[in-house]
Structure 1
Amino acid sequence: MRGNSFGKMFSLTSFGESHGPAMGVVIDGVPAGLSVSLEDLQRELDRRAPGKIAGTTSRNEDDKAVILSGVFEGKTLGTPIAVIVHNTNQKSADYDKLKEEHRPGHADKTTMMKYGIRDHRGGGRSSGRETLSRVVAGYFAGLVLPQVKVKAYVSLLGPFEHKEILKDLSADLSPYSFPDTKRNDEIKKYLEDLKAQGESVGGRVRIVVENSPVGLGEPAFDKLKADFAKALLSIGAVVSFSYGLGEEMAQMKGSAVSNTANAFGGMEGGISNGEKMVMTITFKPTSTVGDKAKEGRHDPCIIPRAIPVVEAMVKVVLADHFLRQNAYQI
């Protein structure tokens, strides 16, 4: 099975199944001498970990990162960095009926059609648990570009919508990553009601990037926008990607677009222009619904826990293209 790696100068390879002994990632291309904080890495993993946000899955995993290589005395060595996270709260028997049943919109059916065999326990490689490997990689990508700020937040979740572009990227939006934090109790109740009904919901996430270097992105096939799209659409529940004005352009005249500030979301011709980057992605509702969802080990909405995954993939793309751009310098 190929397709488990992403990136060129900065690359990650994720491995493991959700109900196997561990999930992990190998990260290559991280420059030597960067300071590593295990506490900061763990903080990012805790944002994604199950059992931390009211109204989401009741499953609880410690998700403790173990660094196996590439770091010595708190500094990166410039060699491949391997990190694993042991799986500690699996209930594989809960998935026995999925040997024959296939969840619509999930990879259950297509994996079987493609390979003739699959690990049905929790979805195997197609489980959302695979994304913890991306969060680890995103932490190390952030070390490459510490001045860049990346903030993802919920712009639409059920009846909750925030249309304005977030201005303060340092704002604490926990636990639901919705800018109007005064509505957190409403969001909690909404998610708990969905769980009680065995129902799920999707939504939209907006990403804002500040202080990006100019000149990131390659002409033609490796445009920065194209790599962002691939990175974000590779997240299992993401079904669409746009940047800048995005789909609004379909109903606008050229003169209106040209007169709109940052209409192209910080990228022109697929290359970063130094302006604020703005992107939007859409998440589908969680595939598990009905009686199985009522048991509480599945998220009625994956978005609150997916926010650090989204930020991580954006950081990975930026770090990869930054290192590629620097490779041209003489």
Structure 2
Amino acid sequence: MGLFSRIKGSITGGSQQAAAAEEPQQETAVEKPGFFGRLKDSLNKTRQGFVEKIDVLIHRGRAIDEDLYEELEEILVQADVGVNTAVELVERTRRTVKERRLDDAGELKAILKEHIRDMLGSETAPLNISDESPTVMMVVGVNGVGKTTTIGKMAHQFKAGGMRVLIGAADTFRAAAIDQLEVWSERVGVDLIKHREGADPAAVAFDSLQAAKARHADLLVIDTAGRLHTKTNLMEELKKISRVLNREIAGAPHEVLLVLDATTGQNAVNQAKLFGEAVGVTGIALTKLDGSAKGGIVIAIKQALDIPVKLIGIGEGMEDLRPFSPADFVEALFAE
């Protein structure tokens, strides 16, 4: 169950749409146990630094007191859920304990799981797909977060799902970025539009969009520069690209996908704020979740910014970029 199977209902019509809506459920029945196991494994480091510490803290028979609440808050902060979110989770837990008149700390884990589930919600946020082709996706993020790999995996999965995909190499600041995208485009068999190193990124975006129209592409994915996110000139560059795309197609880019590295913890929240202010991020792809002890960042992002995590990376394989399911995430995080 890749990316395309999750969204194909939004790009087909009539009875096809109804059939597509049923298909993921059929696939889930076969594949979910395997994928859930992968997700559970990818959260091992987070579980060890979070849930297992809670298990030690709330051993059966321990009284629920202020010391316990303080230690619980500290564990949450260390798991990178964020200070404000940690405080809110503890306060919600405190209220529930009082309302239910509980006195056994062993019951706190289930309560905490319940409140984290409430915070994240139950709905999977789909990628924005335009009713008319091409859908234009602008991918942003700092260097080293896995942006190029994410683009390559998306292109592979969308192409495998029957979409005509085109990639635009608008990160002209680094020659390596163009070279890496070229390798990925050849690997997955999609066209790449590129200029020379140092060319105007907005010009690359313009030419990519014209090519997407001429070649009747369903999806155009545009890579952008990822040097220091605190630099004003980069943010202005991203704004210019967005303006050029919107001038050519009203509503474009339809998706502004921010790629974040889960291992960076709270720094990822800061990046999301800055990119969000500059170009209006509509979704987040959270990479390297399998190598991070800071999976709590998912909760921090939701609470601090209310930007949906739409994709997660849980491994190196082509199919290891997956739609983010909040319900599956919570279940995998608290799995025994």
What is the TM-score when the length of structure 1 is the normalising length? 0.31
More helix by share: 2
What is the TM-score when the length of structure 2 is the normalising length? 0.31
More strand by share: 1
Larger Rg: 2
